[in-house]
Copies of this chain bind each other. A is one copy, B any other.
Amino acid sequence: MFELLCKDAATGARRGRLHTPHGTVETPVFMPVGTAGAVKAMPMGALEALDAEIILGNTYHLYLRPGHERIRALGGLHKFNSWRGAILTDSGGYQVFSHRDLRAISEEGVRFASHLDGSRSLFTPENVVDIQRALGADVAMVFDECTPWPASRADAESSMERSMRWAKRCADRWGRAKAEEGDDGRMLFGIVQGGVHPDLRRRSVEALLPLGFDGVAIGGLSVGEPKELMYETVEATAPQLPGDRPRYLMGVGTPEDIVRAVAAGVDMFDCVLPTRNARNGHLFTGAGRVSIKNAAHAGDGGPLDADCPCPVCRRYSRAYLRHLFMSGEHLYAVYATVHNLTFYLDLMRKIRQAIELGKFGDWLR
């Protein structure tokens, strides 16, 4: 399912292709986050015009609203939101663990209260696999405990160990479902945990390898730890992962983070940064970040980024975008999101091209 096209000579960067039931995904790839079955403020048509090949869906959010059984009855998430490309669903672990007051963890799974109406649910490794299968994800993730930062070494260790036991239960459930329903090309990814402790990360990788996952993610990062610790952990962990499977760094990050992680051999990324920043007025450009509410833009008739190929930069001025932001217009969020996602997807295109041309090392500098 994963095709490794070439490796960069100077760095760990890889150029690959992930073949999914909903099309091929060129890697390294950035996956826009479609929390509730829609990438926030990004019209589907604009996403298609950008040649996006895969988006993320959040299991936790879709389970609560509109419900996975509802989505299954409506023909699956692809039919529901009319997205023709691939969909990766997270396992909901990150969300249920981040609501600290609303959950209780046991070996069985996590009991939690809905942030919407307080209704109680139990997520287990098994039912989280079932939910993602009901949604029709092309790539499903194991249910894991996202170890918080900071955590004691002992806590990070026992948390990682539980995640590995859960990973085994997910793999078993997935295998049984595949045996019963047939192999339709959908994939299950494992997730490495272990905080910022190299030996725990290594033990986590060793626990996952025998389970035969279709890809492996590095989880539990970008949760508040210092940047350098994150980079060190990624750079130490990525090379330990199977070379013939895709590697996914969850929830990361800034353009700089992504470039650095690609150099370490990571293939897949997701982050709310481009979409959330867009709505908050922070826009990415080749010359750095722009805070659109800055008064300096009020009379600026030039584009946000003259080198950007997006329809917003080709059509509107900084002055107009600032005006829409200051006026609280819905359209501001749409235009800003189109721009920021164009920036991210364009960055990935440049990264892929540089690797293909054997120039990623140069490009990096």
Residues of A within 8 A of B (CB): 36-38, 40-45, 61, 65-66, 70, 73-75, 79-82, 279, 298-299, 301, 311, 315-317, 319-320, 323-324, 326-327, 329-331, 333-335
Contacts and interface: CB of A to CB of B under 8 A. Distances in A.
Given A73-B299, A299-B70, A319-B74, A36 B329 contact: yes
B331 A38 contact: yes
Contact of A311 (B45, B74, B316, B333): B45
B330 A66 contact: no
The 4 A-B pairs at the shortest CB distance, nearest first, are namely A41-B330, A36-B327, A66-B323, A330-B333
A327 B311 CA distance: 27
A82 to B, nearest CB: 5
Contacts of A80: 317, 319-320, 323
A52 to B, nearest CB: 15
A4 B329 CA distance: 37
A318 to B, nearest CB: 10
B37 A320 contact: yes
Give the one of A44, A70, A329, A330 with max B CB within 10 A: A330
A319 B43 contact: no
A327 B65 contact: yes
Contact of A66 (B38, B298, B315, B334): B298
Contacts of A65: 323, 326-327
Contact of A331 (B43, B73, B311, B326): B43
B81 A320 contact: yes
Given A73-B299, A80-B323, A82-B315, 16 more contacts: A40-B330, A41-B329, A41-B330, A43-B335, A45-B311, A61-B327, A65-B326, A66-B319, A70-B298, A74-B299, A74-B301, A74-B317, A79-B301, A81-B320, A82-B320, A334-B334
Contacts of A61: 327
A94 to B, nearest CB: 18
Contact of A44 (B44, B79, B315, B319): B315
A324 to B, nearest CB: 6
Contacts of A316: 82
Contacts of A315: 44, 82
A334 B326 contact: no
Contacts of A333: 330
A80 B317 CA distance: 7
Contacts of A323: 36-37, 65-66, 80
Given A70-B298, A319-B74, A330 B327 contact: no
A330 B319 contact: no
B81 A329 contact: no
A56 to B, nearest CB: 15
A40 B80 CA distance: 26
